[in-house]
Amino acid sequence: MTAMNSQAQLFTTLAQTQVRLTKNMDRKLSAHGISLSEFLVLHQLSDTPEQVMSRVALAEAIGLTASGVTRLLNPMEKNHLVEKEKNSRDARVSLVKLTETGQTIYQEALVSFNHSAEMVAQGLTSSQVNQLIGLFGKLK
């Protein structure tokens, strides 16, 4: 039987950590009626000019497929967090716009998100946090 090399152990540890952190953040954000994936959509839209993105760009930004982001956006549209917007230059491009309700929910959820993120990193110095950010950015 072949043992895992250190890179495989790193991958396994990262995957397990990601699952644990996602579950924890989903629980915290559920108080605002959204999941972590929905929060990431709201964050991306809130962070763009005019709070509008194409579905394809949004999917790329949050790490989902185009069909995955469409499935995620459908209930968000029903809950008035986002809305479809027509692209005046190309009718084939589907745009997503953050609504006023979505912006309000995002701002409220951001407080919980920031607090939870602080709790996750409470045992680390700001230098260690920055070092981790740099190291994770190098992973392919």
Could you give the domains of the chain? Answer: 31-119 (1.10.10.10)
How sure is the predictor about 49, in pLDDT bands with cuts at 50, 70 and 90? confident
Write down the pLDDT at residue 92.
62
55 contacts: CB under 8 Å, gap ≥ 6: 66, 69, 70, 73, 94, 95, 96
Q: Is the pLDDT of residue 82 over 70?
A: yes
CB 94, CB 55: distance < 8 Å: yes
Query: What percent of the chain clears pLDDT 70, i.e. is strictly above it?
Result: 96
The closest alpha carbon to 82, from 66, 104, 97, belongs to 97
Rounded (10°) CA dihedral 53, 55, 56, 60? 80
Q: How many H-runs (helices) and E-runs (strands) does the chain carry?
A: 6, 3
* Residue that is written with structure tokens 């950015």 in the block: 137
Rounded Cα distance between 98 and 105, Å, is 11
Q: Is the pLDDT of residue 90 over 90?
A: no
Rounded to an integer, the average pLDDT of 52-58 is: 93
In total, the chain counts a number of residues equal to 140
Q: Amino acid identity, residue 122?
A: Q
Q: Answer for the pair 5, 13: CB distance below 8 angstroms, yes or no.
A: no
